[in-house]
Amino acid sequence: MKTLSLIGLLVGCCWLAGCGRPAPAGAATPGRGCARLVAAQVNAAAMQRLDGPASWRYQPGWPPGWASPTTLDQDWPLADPDFLLGREPPGWRGTGCFRLRFTLDSALLGRALGLYILQSGASEIYLDGRLLGRYGTLGTSARTTRGFEPRYLLLPFMLRAAGPHLLAVRYARFGAWPGPYGGLSLRVGLASHLLAEQVRVMRLRSLHLLVVTGTGVLALLHFFLFLFYRPLRANLYFSLYATVLMGTALVVYFRATEMDVSLLWWLQLGFEGAQALNTVLLLAFLYSVCEGRLPWRWLVPLLAVRLVQVGLWLVHPTSKAQEWPQQPLLLAAFLLPWADMLLVLGRALRQRQPGIGLVALGVVATILVQVFASYDVFHVWPQHYSLAHMLVIQLGFLLLPMCMSVYLARDFATTRRRLEAQLRQVAQLSAQTLAQETERRQLISAQNERLEATVQARTEEISHQNHTLAAQRDEISAQADRLRTLDQEKTRFLPTSPTSFAPRSRSC
């Protein structure tokens, strides 16, 4: 961007060096309706503004010869090109031509100057009858006109005569967004100062990438934590919140660097929608970590209210937080969810929930940053961008996701320490159980050995008794055999007839 601007400056200065000739005959002479470029104002940081109703001649539409220095415009009415929406010049129907005759100090002759334009429509600029530049697409209706905001561009020129010179602008603006300005503001400064200021502003606005990078890394980290341990759903809610916050910061960055008005409208719509999702997801995270549940009966209506707010923005587009006092609905839609967040955190703090003070600190800091820095409701900061202002905004918006991540990390570390303590207890119990089991097995083994010895002794005793009984049985069997043998012997020697033992007769 800086290199292209420098090249454009050099080429433009060389090409427009011939624009320093005095205005041709027929041009108006200095007097009423003629401005003057003062060296002190041109060299100042704020530059010299050329808009104002005292010098510009205006004609609605595109009259013939509007850019020619020879065109007589004394009968054109005076009008301010930097008009507000609803306060357009007489006869304005979306297009008009503005002409300014000016002179300049001798100290500015031969110096590279730059014309800086603030606008939201389309314009075509001529200097002394020569085309100086064109922004956007000029048309006769809203469909054929394409607005352009040249916030990082300038039109370089160099004048070698004091003048008078003619600056002619053809301007078209049909849409009502963005507001509240409907015209264009023109400023003249040194080209080198303008380039340096634009580079400075671009660098400051690139600080939005801090939030994009930081929240993107945190979102990815906690999403993987949720994937590997899904019962802890707070990681999922935080990951979704950080993702939407990253998208919001990315939209803000593109909104600060994009110059096409139609794209800026879509970016602003994305910003409004992302803010609505951010609030609901942040509440979901807080309820998850503080109360362990999600009140869907409250979150769904809240999301509906935020979407209604987006719808109201579509009906009446605005990005000015300063309009909150005039629009109570916007103020209520902003304050209600944040008040609920503070109530949830207050209950958790009263219950002495460990580590919840970190999240409370982040929420309070975010509220303060939004009110006092981002929207600057009370006009604390100067109008121009400053490094301190941008750092406060970016670091302030990073503070809440950092506190939430630290809280989850602390909770994870606490759970890890508790698990480690439980594992040590389990290990101790396992060692005790193993020792008891070993002792029990030793006792069982000793008892088994004693039982085996007892069984062996009883077996030997029974075996001995069996042997004794067998011997006695054999002895008894032998005695029985001897008795039978004796009986047989006795039977053989003694008569067996019964008469053999009868007594003898008495007569005998």
Per-residue pLDDT of the chain in tens (508 residues, 90 and over written 9)? 433 343 343 334 333 333 433 333 333 333 445 888 999 999 988 889 987 766 899 999 888 899 999 988 888 999 999 998 888 898 899 999 999 999 999 999 999 999 999 999 999 999 999 999 999 999 989 899 999 999 899 999 999 998 799 999 999 999 888 878 889 999 999 999 999 989 998 999 999 999 999 999 999 999 999 999 888 899 999 999 999 999 999 999 999 999 999 999 999 889 888 988 988 999 999 999 998 888 888 888 888 888 887 887 787 775 444 454 456 766 777 788 888 889 999 999 999 998 899 899 998 888 888 888 887 777 888 766 788 888 888 988 899 999 999 999 988 888 889 889 999 999 999 999 889 888 888 888 888 888 888 888 888 888 888 888 888 888 888 888 888 887 777 776 655 544 444 444 444 3
Q: Domain residues of the chain, as ranges?
A: 7-198, 206-422
Sign of the alpha-carbon dihedral angle for 349, 355, 359, 360: positive
Residue 368: burial class (beta carbons within 10 Å; 0-12, 13-18, 19+) = middle
So what's the architecture of 7-198 in CATH? Sandwich (2.60)
Three-state DSSP state, 49: strand
The two tokens of residue 414 are 């606490």
Q: What is the distance, to the nearest Å, from the Cα of residue 206 to the centroid of all Cα atoms in its chain? A: 16
The span from the CA of 29 to the CA of 23, in Å, is 9
For the stretch 247-253, contacts whose Cβ atoms lie closer than 8 Å and that sit 24 or more positions apart, written own/partner, are 247/274, 248/274, 248/275, 248/278, 249/208, 249/209, 249/211, 249/212, 249/215, 249/397, 250/208, 250/212, 252/208, 253/205, 253/206, 253/208, 253/209, 253/212
Taking the CA of residue 333 as centre, how many other CA atoms within 13 Å lie in the half-sphere pointing to its CB? 23
DSSP letter (8 states) at residue 310: H
With beta carbons less than 8 A apart as the criterion, state whether 339 and 302 touch. no
The span from the CA of 465 to the CA of 372, in Å, is 109
Q: What is the distance, to the nearest Å, from the Cα of residue 176 to the centroid of all Cα atoms in its chain? A: 30
The span from the CA of 69 to the CA of 19, in Å, is 12
Q: What is the CATH number of domain 206-422?
A: 1.20.1070
Which residues are within 8 A (CB) of 436 and not within 5 positions of it... i.e. 6 or more apart?
Answer: none
What's this model's pTM, rounded to 2 decimal places? 0.75
Compute the radius of gyration of the chain from its Cα atoms: 51
